[in-house]
Amino acid sequence: MVCNRCISVVRNELDSLGIPVTQIVLGEAELGKELSRPEIESLRERLEHHGFELLDDQKSKLIEQIKTLLINFVHYSDEKIKVNLSDYIAEKIGRDYDYLSSLFSEVEGLTIEKYMILQRIERVKELLVYGELSLSEIAFKTGYSSLAHLSAQFKKITGLTPSHYREIRDHKRKPLDKL
Protein backbone atom coordinates (compact mmCIF):
# COMPACT_ATOMS: atom_id res chain seq x y z
CA MET A 1 0.00 0.00 0.00
CA VAL A 2 1.55 3.25 -1.05
CA CYS A 3 -1.27 5.80 -0.80
CA ASN A 4 -4.39 6.67 1.14
CA ARG A 5 -6.56 5.21 -1.62
CA CYS A 6 -4.73 1.89 -1.16
CA ILE A 7 -5.49 1.98 2.55
CA SER A 8 -9.16 2.60 1.78
CA VAL A 9 -9.34 -0.37 -0.61
CA VAL A 10 -7.70 -2.69 1.93
CA ARG A 11 -10.00 -1.45 4.72
CA ASN A 12 -13.08 -2.07 2.52
CA GLU A 13 -11.96 -5.59 1.67
CA LEU A 14 -11.26 -6.43 5.31
CA ASP A 15 -14.64 -4.99 6.34
CA SER A 16 -16.46 -6.96 3.64
CA LEU A 17 -14.84 -10.16 4.93
CA GLY A 18 -15.85 -9.31 8.50
CA ILE A 19 -12.25 -9.13 9.65
CA PRO A 20 -11.81 -6.67 12.54
CA VAL A 21 -9.14 -4.03 11.91
CA THR A 22 -7.19 -2.36 14.70
CA GLN A 23 -5.10 -0.11 12.47
CA ILE A 24 -4.10 0.30 8.83
CA VAL A 25 -1.07 2.33 7.81
CA LEU A 26 0.90 2.40 4.61
CA GLY A 27 2.25 -1.07 4.02
CA GLU A 28 0.60 -2.96 6.86
CA ALA A 29 -2.66 -3.78 8.59
CA GLU A 30 -3.04 -4.71 12.23
CA LEU A 31 -5.95 -7.06 12.66
CA GLY A 32 -8.15 -7.63 15.70
CA LYS A 33 -7.90 -11.41 15.46
CA GLU A 34 -5.77 -14.25 14.15
CA LEU A 35 -6.98 -15.36 10.71
CA SER A 36 -7.78 -18.93 9.75
CA ARG A 37 -6.20 -20.43 6.62
CA PRO A 38 -9.45 -20.01 4.58
CA GLU A 39 -9.72 -16.36 5.69
CA ILE A 40 -6.11 -15.73 4.67
CA GLU A 41 -6.70 -17.27 1.24
CA SER A 42 -9.90 -15.31 0.72
CA LEU A 43 -8.15 -12.08 1.71
CA ARG A 44 -5.19 -12.91 -0.54
CA GLU A 45 -7.52 -13.39 -3.54
CA ARG A 46 -9.36 -10.13 -2.91
CA LEU A 47 -6.15 -8.15 -2.46
CA GLU A 48 -4.60 -9.67 -5.60
CA HIS A 49 -7.72 -8.61 -7.52
CA HIS A 50 -6.78 -5.01 -6.66
CA GLY A 51 -3.10 -5.52 -7.50
CA PHE A 52 -1.92 -5.95 -3.90
CA GLU A 53 0.13 -8.76 -2.45
CA LEU A 54 -0.47 -10.31 0.96
CA LEU A 55 2.87 -10.56 2.69
CA ASP A 56 2.91 -13.16 5.39
CA ASP A 57 6.57 -14.05 5.72
CA GLN A 58 9.07 -12.03 7.75
CA LYS A 59 11.48 -11.22 4.91
CA SER A 60 8.72 -9.84 2.69
CA LYS A 61 7.45 -7.78 5.60
CA LEU A 62 10.91 -6.28 6.14
CA ILE A 63 11.22 -5.38 2.46
CA GLU A 64 7.79 -3.76 2.54
CA GLN A 65 8.71 -1.84 5.70
CA ILE A 66 11.81 -0.45 4.01
CA LYS A 67 9.87 0.55 0.90
CA THR A 68 7.10 2.15 2.93
CA LEU A 69 9.61 4.03 5.07
CA LEU A 70 11.35 5.43 2.00
CA ILE A 71 8.13 6.26 0.14
CA ASN A 72 6.75 8.05 3.20
CA PHE A 73 10.00 9.92 3.68
CA VAL A 74 10.39 11.02 0.05
CA HIS A 75 6.78 11.71 -0.90
CA TYR A 76 4.91 12.59 2.28
CA SER A 77 7.41 14.16 4.67
CA ASP A 78 9.30 17.42 4.83
CA GLU A 79 11.60 15.87 7.46
CA LYS A 80 15.30 16.04 6.69
CA ILE A 81 17.48 13.08 7.64
CA LYS A 82 19.97 14.21 10.27
CA VAL A 83 22.04 11.00 9.94
CA ASN A 84 23.03 8.93 6.94
CA LEU A 85 20.41 6.81 5.18
CA SER A 86 21.71 3.50 6.52
CA ASP A 87 21.52 4.68 10.14
CA TYR A 88 18.06 6.15 9.55
CA ILE A 89 16.69 2.89 8.12
CA ALA A 90 18.35 0.71 10.77
CA GLU A 91 16.92 2.90 13.53
CA LYS A 92 13.39 3.03 12.10
CA ILE A 93 13.21 -0.70 11.26
CA GLY A 94 15.13 -1.83 14.34
CA ARG A 95 17.43 -4.22 12.47
CA ASP A 96 21.06 -4.26 11.37
CA TYR A 97 21.46 -2.26 8.16
CA ASP A 98 23.89 -4.73 6.55
CA TYR A 99 21.28 -7.48 6.90
CA LEU A 100 18.50 -5.23 5.57
CA SER A 101 20.63 -4.08 2.65
CA SER A 102 21.59 -7.63 1.64
CA LEU A 103 18.02 -8.85 1.95
CA PHE A 104 16.64 -5.93 -0.05
CA SER A 105 19.19 -6.37 -2.85
CA GLU A 106 18.60 -10.12 -2.98
CA VAL A 107 14.81 -9.83 -3.16
CA GLU A 108 14.39 -6.64 -5.20
CA GLY A 109 17.41 -6.86 -7.49
CA LEU A 110 18.55 -3.33 -6.67
CA THR A 111 20.12 -1.62 -3.69
CA ILE A 112 18.25 0.41 -1.10
CA GLU A 113 20.20 3.45 -2.27
CA LYS A 114 19.11 2.93 -5.89
CA TYR A 115 15.51 2.50 -4.76
CA MET A 116 15.77 5.75 -2.78
CA ILE A 117 17.15 7.54 -5.85
CA LEU A 118 14.28 6.22 -7.99
CA GLN A 119 11.76 7.45 -5.41
CA ARG A 120 13.41 10.87 -5.27
CA ILE A 121 13.40 11.16 -9.06
CA GLU A 122 9.67 10.30 -9.15
CA ARG A 123 9.09 13.03 -6.55
CA VAL A 124 11.10 15.47 -8.67
CA LYS A 125 8.99 14.53 -11.73
CA GLU A 126 5.84 15.20 -9.72
CA LEU A 127 7.08 18.62 -8.62
CA LEU A 128 8.21 19.46 -12.16
CA VAL A 129 4.78 18.65 -13.55
CA TYR A 130 3.08 20.83 -10.91
CA GLY A 131 5.26 23.70 -12.15
CA GLU A 132 4.96 25.69 -8.93
CA LEU A 133 8.61 25.53 -7.78
CA SER A 134 11.85 26.55 -9.41
CA LEU A 135 14.44 23.86 -10.09
CA SER A 136 16.54 25.14 -7.18
CA GLU A 137 13.53 24.92 -4.84
CA ILE A 138 12.82 21.39 -6.06
CA ALA A 139 16.45 20.39 -5.45
CA PHE A 140 16.27 21.74 -1.91
CA LYS A 141 12.83 20.22 -1.19
CA THR A 142 13.93 16.77 -2.36
CA GLY A 143 17.18 16.78 -0.39
CA TYR A 144 19.72 17.28 -3.16
CA SER A 145 22.88 19.13 -2.19
CA SER A 146 22.71 21.26 -5.34
CA LEU A 147 20.81 21.82 -8.54
CA ALA A 148 23.79 20.36 -10.44
CA HIS A 149 23.56 17.12 -8.42
CA LEU A 150 19.80 16.88 -9.04
CA SER A 151 20.24 17.57 -12.76
CA ALA A 152 23.00 14.99 -13.18
CA GLN A 153 21.07 12.28 -11.35
CA PHE A 154 17.82 13.12 -13.12
CA LYS A 155 19.48 12.92 -16.53
CA LYS A 156 21.20 9.64 -15.63
CA ILE A 157 17.87 8.04 -14.64
CA THR A 158 15.48 9.56 -17.20
CA GLY A 159 17.77 10.53 -20.07
CA LEU A 160 16.35 14.06 -19.91
CA THR A 161 17.31 17.23 -18.12
CA PRO A 162 14.79 18.47 -15.55
CA SER A 163 14.12 21.54 -17.71
CA HIS A 164 13.40 19.42 -20.77
CA TYR A 165 11.17 17.10 -18.73
CA ARG A 166 9.21 20.10 -17.47
CA GLU A 167 8.76 21.30 -21.05
CA ILE A 168 7.41 18.04 -22.44
CA ARG A 169 5.34 17.03 -19.36
CA ASP A 170 3.77 14.13 -21.24
CA HIS A 171 6.47 11.74 -20.11
CA LYS A 172 4.61 9.18 -18.06
CA ARG A 173 5.42 8.95 -14.38
CA LYS A 174 5.71 5.51 -12.82
CA PRO A 175 3.45 4.36 -10.00
CA LEU A 176 5.42 4.31 -6.74
CA ASP A 177 4.84 0.62 -6.21
CA LYS A 178 6.23 -0.23 -9.68
CA LEU A 179 9.74 1.20 -9.07
Q: Kindly report, residue by residue over 110-123, the tens digit of the pLDDT.
A: 999 999 999 999 99
Between 32 and 92, residue with greater pLDDT: 92
Q: What is the pLDDT of residue 113?
A: 95
Q: What is the pLDDT of residue 130?
A: 87
pLDDT at 179 over 80: no
Whole-prediction pTM value? 0.69
Section 18-38 average pLDDT? 82
**Percentage, residues of the chain above pLDDT 70:** 88
Q: Could you give the residue ranges of the DSSP H alpha helices within 24-57?
A: 37-49
pLDDT at 2 over 70: no
Identify the pLDDT of residue 99: 94
115-178: which CATH topology? Arc Repressor Mutant, subunit A (1.10.10)
Q: Which residue has the higher pLDDT, 161 or 31?
A: 161
Domain borders along the chain are 4-49, 58-109, 115-178
Contact by Cβ (8 Å): 74, 113: no
The strand pairing partners of 23, in sequence order, are 30
- Report the pLDDT value the prediction gives residue 178, as an integer from 0 to 100: 67
Kindly give, in sequence order, each residue whose CB lies less than 8 Å from that of residue 65, ignoring residues fewer than 6 positions away: 27, 28, 93
Compute the distance between CA of residue 96 and CA of residue 124 in angstroms, rounded to an integer. 30
Query: What's the rounded mean pLDDT across residues 44-70?
Result: 85
Burial of residue 139 (number of CB atoms within 10 Å: 0-12, 13-18, 19+): buried
Q: Is the pLDDT of residue 176 over 80?
A: no
Report which of 95, 127, 135 is spatially closest to residue 112, judged by C-alpha positions: 95
28, 62, 132, 133, 142 from 68: Cα distances, Å = 9, 10, 26, 26, 17
User: Would you say residue 83 has pLDDT above 80?
Assistant: no
Q: Is the pLDDT of residue 26 over 90?
A: no
